[in-house]
């Protein structure tokens, strides 16, 4: 890695030629994140001609400041002011007020804590059933058997899409999150199937495909009331199917890995299962399943002693911010005694993950079921990372469990 | 000068309480009997985001709560603007704001909350009666930004009593001003009797105006008419500006919440780990079940029906109406 002291055009602006989307960083981003934070509040990434921020204070402030840092020009490297997006932009993620308001308000209501209460008992029962089934074998892959299996068991039903083809959801989401990065090998790998996967997802967003009582049908009902337009409804349903699966899967994998490697924290959860909620947020802080998002400066923005010029892309490192020692004590440890509140793993401000309550409920259900039945979880073989330009993910987490 | 994003932000949880107290940064007459207030955070922080149609609660001495629509610019994250009509027949809230509330004073604020959101449409017809112009003002701005086709019909007693009429003049013939003493009441039949395709009607004003608009739109397709009464809703139980007790049912502990401290902070100080995120009542992370007592809901999340239920609260901002709350913690 090469972090030089200054960059041309900015007297004191540190710069780096490290590729944050290269396999070396994706395998282990922490050394790069640490250098980024130590170099300064704003760093120039020369390889991509963008700014980067890794400290909690600036990342939190920039995420919140939609007035100066827009999302509508894309939250990936591609600048929609100049380049055509690969799919119609998301009405949530890639839109700013006022266009962002109505879709966000509709989804926030459908996915709000109060609306989710009706799912709680069923999801807890589903988690218990899945856990029983998985525990019949003492060793299994926690990624496929739990972290993927549970969301795929409950979430598509909650949205209300039909059974067939649900295996398309994960590769679709994986490609979508890769596409926020540069057009590198990870994106090329996904390209051949993307037309087919997009067509499959888009077809599920139509009313005839959606179950009567799911989130999807509620979105269409909002369109019938005129809260969003009929043209917006399928794109809002698409947001659920795009952002609602992979992120949760990797969040669950993160919390399972954390417990498998911190047995004392597992014992603590078993003593007090009400810590399940804190545990998930602590794992989201530690691992940041969504590592990065871009914003685009709407105007010249003075920040951290420099000026981010109008029209430039800024890469916000949520993962680096969530381990900033200026904000957290012992940031690299998984600790249920910590209050992870204020992490930016779900973003912050008007774009903060609208599905966060869904993710928390899924994890609470799964962790509660496991805590009741499992005395100990340990890693049972080599763990393998899955590389994605935006997501921090596991491909394989072999574990051995000891039933209670 | 461009706004400086590096100005101090609240990066850490735990500073939430003072956010519900805002300072009157400015006040000026907006029309006869109408005062407009500019509010800001005493520490110069960003205020919670809002969208057109949103209102805030002003919590006045003695626990009187009054709701006022935000009528400023949401692109300015550091100030809110509300306009308050002096209501001679009112119960003292507007008189207090007109006569007692001074520049520099602190006032407790709840929300913002939005029961009257602007939904997408190709065309809008905005109908304001008197001070009902306040929520429509930012809507007009946004309709303009969205490139929608819009018109505003604005009626008032006299030209001098019509707040922001000057500011609206720049929109030319999109705006029709109808001062009653010059031109009588707005001619609703000619505006509404023919349902207009792909047009949404947003109306705000006194009851009789809204009833007339509703009657005229009865044969319009559903979902096109959206109304809000400007009459500030008065909370049925006064909120509390003194300390109250919070019992944590599962932990079996009790904590006292003093006026300067949030319930969240008090609960944390008692050693109970509660998740939060935004700490401004917008994200929903700190939702807590209420087992007994009546919460004074100051969040931006619940709508009016849900607030009435009182079975949950967002403890980063919400407080108590009575001396005691029992929480599911
Ligand atoms: S922490 Fe966001 S609503 Fe309380």
User: Per residue in B58-108, pLDDT tens?
Assistant: 998 877 888 999 999 999 999 999 999 998 877 788 999 999 999 999 999
The per-residue pLDDT for range A370-386, each reduced to its tens digit, is 999 999 999 999 999 99
Last residue of a domain, one of B112, B136, B171: B112
Residue B284 located in a structural domain: yes
Other CB atoms within 10 A of residue B287 CB: 21
SS (H, E, C) B290-325: EEECCEECCCCCCCHHHHHHCCEEECCCCEECCCEE
pLDDT at residue number B91: 72
C-alpha closest to that of B125 among B142, B157, B156, B149 = B149
Residue B118 located in a structural domain: no
Strand partners, B257: B244
pLDDT at residue number B217: 94
With a 6 Å cutoff on the Cβ, whether B56 touches ligand 1 is no
The per-residue pLDDT for range A52-86, each reduced to its tens digit, is 999 999 999 999 999 999 999 999 999 999 999 99
Q: Does B197 contact A at CB distance below 8 Å?
A: no
pLDDT band at A199 (very low <50, low <70, confident <90, very high): very high
Asked if pLDDT for residue B2 goes beyond 70, the answer is no
The per-residue pLDDT for range A289-326, each reduced to its tens digit, is 999 999 999 999 999 889 999 999 999 999 999 999 99
Pairwise CA distance, residues A146 & A152, whole Å: 10
Residue B249 located in a structural domain: yes
Tokens for A371?
Answer: 């805590």
pLDDT band at B308 (very low <50, low <70, confident <90, very high): confident
Give, in words, the CATH class of A3-403: mainly alpha
pTM of the model: 0.94
Instruction: Say yes or no for a CB contact (<8 Å) between A348 and B277.
Output: yes
Q: Does A238 contact B at CB distance below 8 Å?
A: no
pLDDT at residue number B260: 86
Measured between alpha carbons, how far is residue A172 from residues A96, A147, B137 in Å?
24, 17, 42
Together in a domain, B165 and B208: yes
Query: Which residue matches tokens 């079940």?
Result: B289
- Between chain A and chain B, how many beta carbons pairs sit less than 8 Å apart? 127
B197 dihedral zone (left: phi>0; alpha: psi -120 to 50; beta): beta
Q: Does A41 contact B at CB distance below 8 Å?
A: yes
pLDDT at residue number A114: 85
Together in a domain, B52 and B80: yes
Q: Does A341 contact B at CB distance below 8 Å?
A: yes
Task: Name the residue range of residue B215's domain.
Answer: 123-228
CA distance from start to end of chain A: 47
Residues of B with Cβ-Cβ distance to A343 under 8 angstroms:
277
Asked if pLDDT for residue A5 goes beyond 90, the answer is no
Asked if pLDDT for residue B39 goes beyond 70, the answer is yes
Residue B15 located in a structural domain: no
Together in a domain, B277 and B190: no
**Could you tell which of B48, B286, B302, B327 is best to mutate to test the pocket of ligand 1, judged by most ligand atoms within 8 Å of the CB?**
B286
C-alpha torsion A348→A350→A355→A360, nearest 10: 30
Residues of A with Cβ-Cβ distance to B51 under 8 angstroms:
97-98, 101, 105
Average model confidence (pLDDT) for chain B?
90
Nearest CA in chain B to A113: B284
Query: Which residue matches tokens 């700013």?
Result: A96
Residues of A with Cβ-Cβ distance to B223 under 8 angstroms:
224-227
The per-residue pLDDT for range A137-162, each reduced to its tens digit, is 999 999 999 999 999 999 999 999 99
Residue B82 located in a structural domain: yes
Asked if pLDDT for residue B10 goes beyond 60, the answer is no
Q: Does A136 contact B at CB distance below 8 Å?
A: no
Pairwise CA distance, residues A339 & B274, whole Å: 8
Task: Give me the CATH number covering residue B82.
Answer: 2.40.30.10
The per-residue pLDDT for range A88-130, each reduced to its tens digit, is 999 999 999 999 999 999 999 999 988 999 999 999 999 999 9
Distance A297 CA to ligand 1 centre (A): 27
Pairwise CA distance, residues A253 & A394, whole Å: 7
Instruction: Say yes or no for a CB contact (<8 Å) between A303 and B51.
Output: no
Instruction: Say yes or no for a CB contact (<8 Å) between A102 and B284.
Output: no
Residue B43 located in a structural domain: yes
Asked if pLDDT for residue A209 goes beyond 70, the answer is yes
Residue boundaries of the structural domains of chain A: 3-403
Asked if pLDDT for residue B172 goes beyond 90, the answer is yes
Distance B298 CA to ligand 1 centre (A): 11
For residue B245, what are the contacts with CB-CB under 8 A and spacing of at least 6?
B254, B255, B256, B257, B323, B324, B325
A58-81: string of b/e by CB count within 10 Å (b at 16+)?
Answer: bbbbbbbbbbbbbbbbbbbbbebe
The per-residue pLDDT for range A341-365, each reduced to its tens digit, is 999 999 999 999 999 999 999 999 9
The per-residue pLDDT for range A216-265, each reduced to its tens digit, is 999 999 999 999 999 999 999 999 999 999 999 999 999 999 999 999 99
Asked if pLDDT for residue B284 goes beyond 70, the answer is yes
How many separate domains does chain B show? Answer: 3
Distance B314 CA to ligand 1 centre (A): 6
pLDDT at residue number A8: 47
- Ligand 1: nearest atom to the Cα of B315: 4
Query: Which residue matches tokens 């000891």?
Result: A402
The per-residue pLDDT for range B238-261, each reduced to its tens digit, is 678 789 999 999 999 999 999 889
Query: Which residue matches tokens 């979880």?
Result: A377
With a 6 Å cutoff on the Cβ, whether B265 touches ligand 1 is no
Work out the percent of chain A whose per-residue pLDDT is above 70. Answer: 97
């Amino acid at each position: 890695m090469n972090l030089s002291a200054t960059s041309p055009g900015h007297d004191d602006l540190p710069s780096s030629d490290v590729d944050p989307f290269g396999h070396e960083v994706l395998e282990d981003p922490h050394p790069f994140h640490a250098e980024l934070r130590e170099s300064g509040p704003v760093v120039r990434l020369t390889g991509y001609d963008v700014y980067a921020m890794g400290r909690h204070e600036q990342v939190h402030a920039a995420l919140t400041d939609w007035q100066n840092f827009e999302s509508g020009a894309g939250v990936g490297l591609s600048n929609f002011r100049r380049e055509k997006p690969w799919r119609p932009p998301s009405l949530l993620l890639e839109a700013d007020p006022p266009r962002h308001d109505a879709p966000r308000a509709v989804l926030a209501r459908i996915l709000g804590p109060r609306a989710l209460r009706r799912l709680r008992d069923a999801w807890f029962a589903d988690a218990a059933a899945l856990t029983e089934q998985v525990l019949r074998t003492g060793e299994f892959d926690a990624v496929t058997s739990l972290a993927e299996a549970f969301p795929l068991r409950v979430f598509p039903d909650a949205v209300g899409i039909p059974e067939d083809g649900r295996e398309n959801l994960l590769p679709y989401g994986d490609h979508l999150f890769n596409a926020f990065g540069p057009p590198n090998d990870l994106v090329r790998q996904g390209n051949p199937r993307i037309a087919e996967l997009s067509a499959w997802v888009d077809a599920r967003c139509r009313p005839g495909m959606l179950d009567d009582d799911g989130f999807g049908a509620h979105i269409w009902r909002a369109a019938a009331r005129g809260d969003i337009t009929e043209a917006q409804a399928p794109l809002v349903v698409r947001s659920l199917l795009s952002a609602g699966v992979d992120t949760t899967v990797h969040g669950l994998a993160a919390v399972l890995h954390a417990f498998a490697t911190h047995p004392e924290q597992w014992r603590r959860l078993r003593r007090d299962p009400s810590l399940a909620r804190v545990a998930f947020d602590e794992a989201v802080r530690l691992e940041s399943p969504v590592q990065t998002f871009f914003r685009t400066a709407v105007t010249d923005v003075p920040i951290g002693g420099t000026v981010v010029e109008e029209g430039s892309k800024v890469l916000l490192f949520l993962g680096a911010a969530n381990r900033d020692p200026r904000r957290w004590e012992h940031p690299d440890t998984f600790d249920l005694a910590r209050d992870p509140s204020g992490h930016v793993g779900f973003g912050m401000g008007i774009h903060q993950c609208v599905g966060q309550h869904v993710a928390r409920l899924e994890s609470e259900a799964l962790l509660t079921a496991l805590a009741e039945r499992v005395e100990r979880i340990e890693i049972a073989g080599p763990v393998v990372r899955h590389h994605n330009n935006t997501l921090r993910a596991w491909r394989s987490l072999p574990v051995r469990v000891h039933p209670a | 000068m461009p706004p400086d994003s590096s100005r101090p932000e609240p990066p850490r949880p735990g500073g939430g309480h003072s956010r519900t107290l805002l300072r009157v940064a400015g006040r000026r007459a907006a029309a006869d009997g109408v005062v407009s207030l500019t509010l800001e955070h005493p520490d110069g922080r960003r205020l919670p985001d809002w969208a057109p149609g949103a209102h805030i609660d002003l919590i006045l001495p003695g626990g009187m709560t009054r709701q006022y629509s935000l009528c400023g610019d949401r692109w300015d994250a550091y100030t809110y603007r509300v306009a308050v009509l002096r209501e001679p027949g009112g119960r003292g809230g507007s008189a207090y704001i007109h006569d007692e509330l001074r520049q520099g004073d602190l006032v407790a604020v709840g929300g913002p909350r939005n029961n009257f959101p602007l939904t997408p449409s190709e065309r809008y017809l905005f109908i304001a009666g008197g001070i009902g112009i306040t929520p429509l003002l930012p809507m007009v701005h946004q309709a303009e930004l969205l490139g929608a086709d819009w018109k505003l019909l604005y009626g008032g007693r006299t030209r001098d009593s019509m707040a922001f009429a000057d500011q609206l003049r720049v929109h030319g013939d999109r705006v029709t001003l109808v001062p009653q003493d010059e031109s009588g009441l707005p001619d609703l039949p000619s505006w509404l009797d023919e349902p207009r395709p792909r047009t949404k009607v947003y109306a705000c004003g006194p009851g009789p105006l809204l009833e007339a608009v509703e009657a005229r739109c009865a044969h319009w397709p559903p979902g096109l008419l959206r109304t809000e009464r400007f009459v500030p809703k008065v909370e049925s139980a006064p909120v509390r500006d003194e300390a109250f007790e919070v019992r944590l049912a599962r932990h079996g502990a009790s904590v006292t919440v003093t006026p300067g401290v949030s319930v969240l902070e008090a609960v944390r100080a008692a050693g109970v780990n509660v998740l939060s995120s935004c700490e401004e009542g917008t994200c929903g992370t700190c939702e807590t079940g209420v087992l007994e007592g009546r919460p004074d809901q100051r969040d931006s999340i619940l709508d009016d029906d849900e607030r009435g239920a009182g079975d949950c609260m967002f403890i980063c901002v919400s407080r108590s109406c009575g001396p005691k709350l029992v929480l599911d913690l």
